[in-house]
């Protein structure tokens, strides 16, 4: 395989354009008819609507017709158009070569048929330019996407994405849409691990990105099927199945350095909030309330079941002790999201402290009630206990939250990837 970025002399004679922020690659094989209209339309759109310097790279992979000559003619005709030729076929191979050689901080590609509406291009790359996301894909399967294509291709596309979800546990919605972008620093880390050189290239790249913890931005697109597409559906489907098998086996055996990739490219964990700022307080209150209702019901059942044998005070002590231990365990896991045995003893000790305060409230309420009425009705007794338990529950939430939430060990902070300097707005100018 050979690769060349040298355009013809008429191209070299132009004044150099400013450094490109975006490099859009058009991989082609025997596309002499569609290439010219595609590149001219894309160039006109970028010139009119894209606010940063750009480049269009035609990546010709082993065309045997006049595609390469058309590409060189376009490079001579239009500013910011370059040509790259490879002697071997494969869309993935062409993208790898073009992206690896590019000096732009944001890299993209689209199919030569331009089935995707170009209005989605700026929304596709904007999160990458800003540094918010790592990769971006166009999706034809979002609710707001508008797609025109035959039933056969619709079924195949949805079936393929369902297969990916079931076998490789992907979370992105559309692996095959020929409209994607990636930050150059992320591409540098992922491309050496992508083995496929054909149509499975996109899927493999996205799966690795997801497993590395990278942020994948999805853009709903308007998409019109190209009726003249020459993609061999059967051969492509078989190649995709082989790719899924190979990649799934690599993930299961641990042969991919995902931990190193995650450490290199993954985003830093969020910084812990200041100690006085509540985290998820409404959700914690809701879960604590649900646990509290269940605990109160269990407490009342135990109290009624043991009162006859133990008397009101000992029945209260027994019921409160049993439900306090269960309440602490449930709140530890469900309300505050703490699992495992770390600090469990300390948390239960603090729960027993809250239990002691609750016991003082409920026992004191019972004692006060019996001091007023020697034999109060059972309904009145239960009402007083419920009110005392509500007060004890509020006190328990404050104590448990202070004990469990703010004593979590902070995770060391790694610096988040910075947006490329070249991505700052600058005048495009005329080349």
Query: Which of the residues are catalytic?
Result: 202
- Percent helix, strand and coil across the chain, each to the nearest 5: 55, 10, 35
Q: Please give the Cα distance from 106 to 182 (Å, whole number).
A: 6
Dist CA 159 CA 196 (whole Å): 21
Strand order in the sheet with 81-86: 3-4, 81-86, 54-61, 22-28, 106-110, 179-183, 135-139, 216-220
Distance CA 167, CA 13 (A): 52
CA atoms within 13 A on the CB side of 361: 20
Distance CA 315, CA 331 (A): 24
Q: What are phi and psi of 82, to 5 degrees?
A: -125, 165
């Amino acid at each position: 395989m050979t690769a060349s970025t040298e355009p013809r002399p008429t191209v070299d004679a132009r004044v150099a354009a400013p450094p490109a922020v975006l490099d859009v690659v058009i991989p082609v094989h025997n596309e002499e008819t569609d290439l010219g209209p595609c590149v001219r339309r894309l160039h006109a759109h970028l010139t009119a609507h894209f606010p940063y310097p750009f480049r269009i790279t035609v990546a010709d992979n082993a065309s045997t017709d006049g595609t390469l000559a058309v590409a060189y003619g376009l490079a001579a005709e239009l500013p910011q158009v370059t040509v790259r030729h490879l002697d071997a076929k494969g869309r993935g191979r062409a993208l790898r070569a073009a992206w690896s050689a590019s000096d732009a901080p944001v890299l993209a590609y689209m199919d030569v048929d331009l089935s995707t509406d170009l209005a989605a291009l700026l929304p596709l790359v904007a999160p990458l330019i800003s540094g918010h996301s790592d990769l971006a894909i166009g999706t034809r399967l979002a609710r707001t996407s508008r797609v025109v294509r035959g039933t056969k291709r619709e079924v195949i596309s949805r079936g393929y994405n369902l297969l990916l979800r079931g076998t490789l546990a992907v979370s992105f919605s559309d692996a095959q849409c020929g409209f994607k972008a990636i930050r150059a620093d992320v591409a540098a880390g992922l491309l050496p691990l992508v083995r496929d050189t054909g149509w499975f290239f996109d899927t493999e790249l996205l799966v690795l990105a997801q497993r590395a913890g990278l942020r994948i931005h999805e853009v709903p697109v308007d998409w019109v099927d190209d009726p003249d597409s020459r993609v061999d559906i059967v051969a492509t489907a078989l190649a995709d199945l082989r790719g899924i098998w190979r990649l799934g086996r690599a993930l299961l055996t641990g042969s991919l350095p995902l931990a190193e990739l995650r450490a290199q490219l993954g985003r830093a964990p969020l910084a812990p909030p200041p100690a006085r700022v509540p985290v998820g307080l409404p959700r914690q209150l809701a879960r604590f309330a649900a646990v509290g209702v269940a605990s109160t019901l269990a407490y009342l059942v135990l109290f009624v079941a043991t009162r006859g044998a133990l008397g009101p005070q000992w029945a209260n002590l027994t019921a409160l002790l049993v439900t306090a231990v269960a309440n602490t365990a449930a709140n530890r896991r469900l309300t505050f999201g703490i699992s495992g045995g770390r600090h469990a003893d300390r948390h239960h000790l603090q729960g027993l402290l809250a239990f002691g305060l609750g016991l003082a409230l409920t026992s004191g309420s019972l004692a006060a009630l019996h001091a007023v009425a020697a034999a109060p009705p059972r309904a009145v007794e239960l009402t007083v206990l419920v009110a005392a338990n509500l007060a004890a529950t509020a006190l328990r939430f404050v104590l448990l939250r202070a004990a469990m939430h703010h004593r979590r060990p902070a995770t060391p902070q790694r610096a988040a990837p910075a947006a490329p300097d070249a991505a700052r707005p600058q005048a495009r100018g005329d080349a």
